[in-house]
Structure 1
Amino acid sequence: MVSVAPIKKLDQLPPDLQTQIEKDVDRLLKKITNAELVNSDQTIRGYGSLKGKIWVSEDFDEPLEDFKDYM
């Protein structure tokens, strides 16, 4: 809950400063909203999180035909 004291202080400021403060508050709120969106899309990944998504061919360790002359 917001205290009444800051609101009274804001009312004492000239209109151009009140407008600037309003823009600053809007910018901060937008920044917070953007940060929340970024954080909500991120997931915590740990060991084993890609299990089943990566595979290795059966002949991975077999010699390559292209290097047969060099072996």
Structure 2
Amino acid sequence: MTIDIEIFQTIVKMPESLKKEILDYAQYLLEKHAKSESSQEKLEEFQGYGSWVGQIFMSDDFDQPLEDLKEYM
């Protein structure tokens, strides 16, 4: 017997009030699952270390001392 048939047979035996609760819970689970899938896709888009290579540019004198701090050096 498949899980779908077992679920159906169990739900058929229930009163209407419980069926409504099951429907609400099932819809909640579907929404939760959809959100977790979209967050998983966002994680897969992240490429990790080095993903900004070529997108950030620094001047050639980036490591040189600043003129304003000469008196402190």
TM-score range, shorter chain: 0.7 to 0.9
The equivalent residue for 2:19 is 18
Which residue identity lines up with residue 10 of structure 2 in the other structure?
A: K
2:52 to 37, 50, 53: 50
Runs of 4+ in structure 1 off by over 3 angstroms are none
| Deviations 1:41-71, CA, capped at 9 Å, x for gaps | 3314233321101222111122211122223
CA distance in 2, matches of 1:3, 1:51: 49
Query: Residues 1-71 of structure 1 correspond to what in structure 2 (within 5 A)?
Result: 2-42=3-43, 43-71=45-73
The count of residues paired between Structure 1 and Structure 2 equals 71
CA distance in 2, matches of 1:41, 1:69: 48
Offset, 1:31: 0.6
Gaps of 5+ in 1: none
CA distance in 2, matches of 1:47, 1:34: 25
Gaps of 5+ in 2: none
CA distance in 1, matches of 2:61, 2:6: 74
CA distance in 2, matches of 1:70, 1:9: 80
> Which deviates more, 15-24 or 52-61?
52-61
Relative to the length of structure 2, the TM-score reads 0.78
